[in-house]
A = this chain, B = another copy of it.
Amino acid sequence: MIDHTHDAAASSWVEGTDDHEDFPVQNLPLGVFSHGHGTRRIGSAIGDYVVDLEGLADAGLLPNALRPALAEPTLNALFALDGATRRALRHALFALLTDPARQGAVAPWLSPTQGVELHLPFAIGDYSDFYVGIHHATNIGKLFRPDNPLLPNYKHVPIGYHGRASSIRVSGAPVIRPKGQIKAPDADQPTYAPCRRLDYELELGIWIAGDHAIAETIPIADAWDRIAGISLLNDWSARDIQAWEYQPLGPFLSKSFLTTISPWVVTAEALAPFRVAQPARPAGDPAPLPHLWDVQDQAQGALSIALSVTLASTAMRESGMAALELSRGTAQEAMYWTAGQIVTHHASNGCDLHTGDLLGTGTLSGPASGSEGSLMEISHGGQQPIHLPTGEQRCFLEDGDELTLHARAMREGYRAIGFGPCRGVVRQAR
């Protein structure tokens, strides 16, 4: 089957779609929505609309084999199906939305996105968070070890750790400032108080498709077959809680109060044209161990995804000012390890991965100033404040700040596809 779903010239009959920044017909991300408090249904985003896939399936407009999975309130059953079945969904949906003759049958299943509620796309089994943004790891390491920022294992091991699944929410969830144990450097004792160094982390979240048994591994050549798609992920971080708690077992409550994701899963199929060559490792860096090395993965393992972060304080929003761009970079430049290497490493000890597991990349900072993915980096550990157009200053987030992550997969010859915003407004501690 020739794949026309990436043709830059393809056009949808849905109004305002062809020049939509995030959701032209080449994207067709999957998610879960409801009308108010109604039942959760599987949908796709097309322009400023959500198309109800359960409805399309019930109407006989999608392959019949997909109908049970599309009637579920999460994407788990759909992504437990084999890849060919899922690709059939993409092709069928693309055909329906590009053929004007199908408008009459399909249009009743469109709803303006503004009028629906978006939910977690998966029932998330386990959430792990990695640390593959080498410039982030370097920037953070420099704050503690200026001469030797990267630890000896960094270029051998895709460093990661377990995260908290229960507190993952979709874009728009309030960011209640967490409380926790904080110890000022000059204090004798810690106090239990609201976080004063609240930060964000710009990450991508990799969704797992399919299950494998415990004690089995995932060869690097098969790793992308286990990736359902990608969302934006904000790993909100309480830096003062983190500094006091993290030794010796790593960050815990400094992260687990909330993680925000963008609600649409940009599928592996949609991302196919945007998988590009992984940048060569700098001379002198060790080669990955054989189980993490694959020619094809190196040729198509990087993601040509533009990333940016914007901030709007309460005063800025009240004055009608545009949000301030805090940073701009690309996933390709930021990631020292590929998504495939992340997946293969995670299962390399026999740990079983399952549909709906979420793997954060870690903070994706670029190599240059202006591309840092956290305030901890931008403000140099709280030493160099950002100046907002209102005259306000920020080293860390203040109550009322609206922080938004943005991502668009871009490549010459292809229509860019976006992820939709991953947004949160900080609220005062309870």
A225, CB-defined interface residue at 8 Å: no
A366, CB-defined interface residue at 8 Å: no
B residues near A257, Cβ cutoff 8 Å: 214-215, 349-351
A290, CB-defined interface residue at 8 Å: yes
Contact with A250, one of B126, B167, B244, B249 (Cβ below 8 angstroms)? B249
Of A56-64, A155-163, A296-304, A314-322, the one contacting chain B is A155-163
Residue contact B214 to A249, C-beta cutoff 8 Å: no
Residue contact B162 to A351, C-beta cutoff 8 Å: no
Contact with A248, one of B151, B163, B178, B181 (Cβ below 8 angstroms)? B151
Residue contact B351 to A160, C-beta cutoff 8 Å: no
B residues near A69, Cβ cutoff 8 Å: none
Residue contact A215 to B162, C-beta cutoff 8 Å: no
B residues near A214, Cβ cutoff 8 Å: 166-167, 169, 176, 257-258
B residues near A161, Cβ cutoff 8 Å: 161-162, 249-252
B residues near A357, Cβ cutoff 8 Å: 166
A376, CB-defined interface residue at 8 Å: no
CB distance from A385 to the nearest CB of B (A): 25
In the bound assembly, the distance between CA atoms of A126 and B253 in angstroms comes to 14
B residues near A217, Cβ cutoff 8 Å: 179
Contact with A350, one of B157, B178, B246, B249 (Cβ below 8 angstroms)? B178
Q: For chain A residues 246-278, which have a beta carbon within 8 Å of chain B?
A: 246-254, 256-258
CB distance from A175 to the nearest CB of B (A): 9
Residue contact A126 to B165, C-beta cutoff 8 Å: yes
B residues near A167, Cβ cutoff 8 Å: 214, 350-352
Query: A157 with B181: in contact, given A162-B256, A163-B162 (CB under 8 Å)?
Result: yes
Interface size class of A (residues with CB under 8 A): 35 or more
Residue contact A159 to B249, C-beta cutoff 8 Å: yes
A238, CB-defined interface residue at 8 Å: yes
Residue of B nearest to A345 (CB): B253
A6, CB-defined interface residue at 8 Å: no
Specify how many copies of this chain sit in the oligomer: 2
B residues near A246, Cβ cutoff 8 Å: 248, 250
In the bound assembly, the distance between CA atoms of A292 and B263 in angstroms comes to 36
B residues near A382, Cβ cutoff 8 Å: none
Contact with A286, one of B126, B151, B166, B189 (Cβ below 8 angstroms)? B189
In the bound assembly, the distance between CA atoms of A291 and B162 in angstroms comes to 26
Contact with A351, one of B166, B192, B352 (Cβ below 8 angstroms)? B166
Q: For chain A residues 343-358, which have a beta carbon within 8 Å of chain B?
A: 345-346, 348-354, 357
Residue contact B179 to A289, C-beta cutoff 8 Å: no
A241, CB-defined interface residue at 8 Å: yes
CB distance from A339 to the nearest CB of B (A): 17
Q: For chain A residues 141-194, which have a beta carbon within 8 Å of chain B?
A: 151, 153, 156-157, 159-167, 169, 174, 176, 178-181, 183, 189-192
A430, CB-defined interface residue at 8 Å: yes
Residue contact B349 to A159, C-beta cutoff 8 Å: no
A245, CB-defined interface residue at 8 Å: yes
Residue contact B125 to A192, C-beta cutoff 8 Å: no
Residue of B nearest to A176 (CB): B215
B residues near A286, Cβ cutoff 8 Å: 189
Given contacts A161-B161, A161-B250, A238-B349, 12 further A-B contacts (CB under 8 A): A126-B164, A128-B252, A151-B248, A165-B165, A166-B357, A178-B349, A178-B350, A181-B289, A192-B290, A192-B291, A215-B257, A250-B250
Q: List 18 A-B contacts (CB under 8 A).
A: A151-B248, A153-B244, A156-B181, A156-B189, A156-B244, A157-B190, A157-B244, A161-B250, A162-B164, A166-B351, A166-B354, A167-B351, A176-B215, A179-B217, A180-B348, A192-B348, A238-B349, A253-B346
